[in-house]
Structure 1
């Protein structure tokens, strides 16, 4: 870590070191468009370990081999003349949202039934503006947002994930769990933290990479299936078949280093922009409680998985399972 730091701060301003700079993690994160206002930093005060030199920081996911983007002629957005209209069920982007507005706020900051119920995922007024509503936070419902194909402007209140990360993050060395992530600013309940990014690959390629990994469980730490909308009866053949997966092992953003906890302070939500891109939905991390600056950020790697038949109770199966090191009072003992 010290060697990499010296190379970056003392030599990467010189000409002729382009090859070094491309592989330098500090240079990669400094190239992010958000670096000046919301920087990502790297620190290690525990040992001499450095990040894997083959790892590359990216600020958006990369489409892998045989993964095709949706053709432009199939992309559609809302036609809301006023971005305020993007909060209601009349917005095309919200056509799949269940219209249950029991905790919706009205335009005057009150809650209850009105002529038009707000159905989008976020608070729109006061200090909670842009934060996920409690009803969404306690669910596993997808989030539908406006996007670049929409008529509304970039300041539309329904473009939270679309606008990107708005908090500074720090990748740091933990005492017993390798690398971790924390924020250098307070994070509020319902606030968007960042997306999990990486190389988007086919299910076949994901299985191939699992098979090549000498420890399959280790590879599964980095692979996340985009299966929120998988449906064998879907009219979209991309949703009928096996889902695409995001591999963040060798290219990703800072959230690749977020550790598991059985009592996490964040949760992953499927976020959809254009409905034609459901097979390529984002994996968006939101705080599920207030997180003071400096506290390690965590999420549950197996959130929502039914563990009613807990293999961890079987001593014979424990030897092949991955032990959990989260240290929380609710620790299940094993990941999988």
Structure 2
């Protein structure tokens, strides 16, 4: 799809934010001043730096086969590699969630059948398999898709202090902490040769603090960590036997003696995470002391005092408690409020607008909010699609006619209100002529906005959008809404930066920064795809959505070179890909208050201005891998 852009280019409402200006530079956060360190801490940091230098060279692990995503192309940044690995994990995870949901349906059907038969001698009942996250990890390990399969000291490239993991399995997927259950990750004897031959193994590399032990003491910058083993696995955190100085406990002891710091991750209760916890990386800590003592329950435990290394991003109490920012609880708490609800009551959930940039502050103006796409008079939507004959909700992908268009499967899982398993060429949903009801999982994108959004003013990009709620990967965020026009009827000379060209063909071909889709889908309008002589379909899409004068929240979502949303074509009321609905889905697990962005999909020097000259526009997305230019 080619987007002629919403809000990043120029705000048509307020002229004060002008991204065309060469004089306005991207803001760069100031670096922390590193204080003078004691000799021991300098030694620790020097050893970490040395190890980091070693890791940048050719990798040859002792007794461990080199494999995995560390062989990704070097032109990708470390953060991009981490993001792509987590997206791959989420795709595998949702695939196994779908398998679990199918088994659950069969299991329930079997139980009902047994209750209905008085003397049934059918197969014995089996429990539904769980832990799709662990199955996803197994698939990644088998496919050598773990980002850093070899353990390493110090920081992990691409994972900064404050990075949030939504499960222990995510940490394993990128190689940050290699065990989904154990709190201490360490190098074993297999690492005792080669470049690590000067170290005594085992040696700890990371720990997770998540309140599992009653003897833990967490004061943010300093921690008293209880060793592993001997605790009650029923969940009451109590010790039931003595701990032993072995495995992870011995590894932490060796960390004290060899001045090797460990990565510290803190886990906190979180309703957004499927595992009930969320984990944040709080930086490198030096293990300064260890000892054995009688714990609260009277059993021997090993204690380790850890101190956070200086020179790292500041660690605040709110960070330790895993709160990125405080979401307002009422209208009176919203700072810079300029409009209580930009929708005027059209959406079920109000969308406030805030402005802490302009003086005096102004609200977004110059448009009329609309909840659904409006069709221009000269545009006729196709009719005649019969739809499926399912009743209530579509459950069998082998019999549902709509599912057959999706490769005989449903593209969504039920979890979290419906999540798209992976980006597809086109998603076929059930429509108005289908027999199923609104609760059908194959209508996920049709249910409207379900998250609390805020439109806010930025210094460089005009208006922007963020969510007050956590958005899981694969969740529908919003539809791009406006007036559906023929492209030829739109005035190309006007300064309208809210035109979205509907071009499923370009999306299928993997235009520019967008990932190439699988194309494992049955397209009913196949004739429209197989016309090599039709240059119009390649260059000028026949239809577009104009959100300049009429639009919804999507018109305020900015471009990013490293976005957290992706564009997805969806067909429901008809099967003409030239008139597909344009949906934005979450590409990642998006924490509250993070700006929502997607890739506008421009190729450099591809857009001409009214004067016929190439139009250039600078990008202010702020991503580490920013291309510097949007056009």
Q: TM-score, normalised by structure 2?
A: 0.39
Q: How far is the alpha carbon of 1:205 from its aligned partner?
A: 1.1
Shift of residue 180 of structure 1? Answer: 0.2
Q: Does 1:144 align with 2:428?
A: yes
Report what 1:122 is aligned to: 412
Question: Structure 1 stretches of 5 or more lacking a match?
Answer: 2-8, 10-23, 100-118, 214-218, 313-317
Question: 2:344 maps to which residue?
Answer: 30
Q: Report Cα offsets for 1:256-303 as digits up to 9, x if no partner.
A: 00010000010110011033453321111111111111111000101x
Secondary structure of the 1:212 match is coil
What are the superposed Cα offsets for residues 142-179 of structure 1, whole Å, 9 maximum, x if unpaired? 11111222101111111111111211111111122110
CA distance in 2, matches of 1:53, 1:46: 16
- 1:234 equivalent among 528, 544, 547: 528
1:68 partnered with 2:367: no
* Residues 232-277 of structure 1: per-residue CA shift (max 9 Å, x gap): 943999x979521001111110110001000001011001103345
2:529 and 2:475 map into 1 onto residues whose CA distance is: 34
- Kept in 2, the 8 Å contact 1:189–1:291? The answer is yes
Alignment of 1:290-329 (within 5 A): 290-302=589-601, 320-329=615-624
Structure 1 residues 94, 278: closer, same or farther in 2, change over 3 A? farther
Whether 1:50 and 2:362 are equivalent positions in the alignment is: yes
What's the offset of the Cα at 1:42? 1.2
Separation in 1, partners of 2:574, 2:342: 32
Instruction: Verify: 1:92 aligned to 2:408, yes or no.
Output: no
Structure 1 residues 287 and 65, CA gap change in structure 2 (3 angstroms): same
Q: Is the 8 A contact 2:374 2:484 kept in 1?
A: yes
Q: Secondary structure at the match of 2:413?
A: coil
Partner residue in 2 for 1:13: none
* Separation in structure 1 between the aligned mates of residue 616 and residue 526 of structure 2, nearest angstrom: 31
Matches within 5 A, 1:189-208: 189-206=473-490
Q: For the structure 1 residues 25 and 250, does the alpha-carbon distance in structure 2 shift closer, same or farther, using more than 3 Å as the test?
A: farther
Taking a change above 3 Å as real, the CA distance of residues 128 and 27 of structure 1, as seen in their structure-2 partners, is: closer
Query: Could you report, residue by residue, the CA deviation over 1:88-127 in whole angstroms, capped at 9, with x for unpaired residues?
Result: 143222332235xxxxxxxxxxxxxxxxxxx111123xx4
What corresponds to 2:82 in structure 1?
none
Say whether the 8 Å CA contact 1:54–1:250 is kept in structure 2.
Answer: yes
In 2, Cα distance between equivalents of 1:25 and 1:154: 32
Q: Distance in 2 between matches of 1:233 and 1:158?
A: 25
Match of 2:542 among 240, 243, 250: 243
Deviation, structure 1 residue 328: 0.5
Moved more, 241-250 or 169-178: 241-250
Label 1:234 to 1:52 Cα distance change in 2 as closer, same or farther (>3 A): same
Matched-pair contact (CA < 8 Å) for 2:425–2:504: no
Offset at residue 50 of structure 1 (A) = 2.9
| 8 Å Cα contact 2:354/2:363 also seen in 1 | no
Aligned-partner Cα distance in 1 for 2:468–2:346: 18
Deviation track 1:45-82 (CA, whole Å, cap 9, x = no partner) reads 221353453311110111113112334xx132111135
> Which structure would you say has the larger Rg?
2
Q: What is the distance in 1 between the residues matched to 2:504 and 2:398?
A: 22
Structure 2 SS opposite 1:263: coil
TM-score (normalizing by structure 1): 0.70
* Aligned residues of 1:147 and 1:162 also touching (Cα < 8 A): no
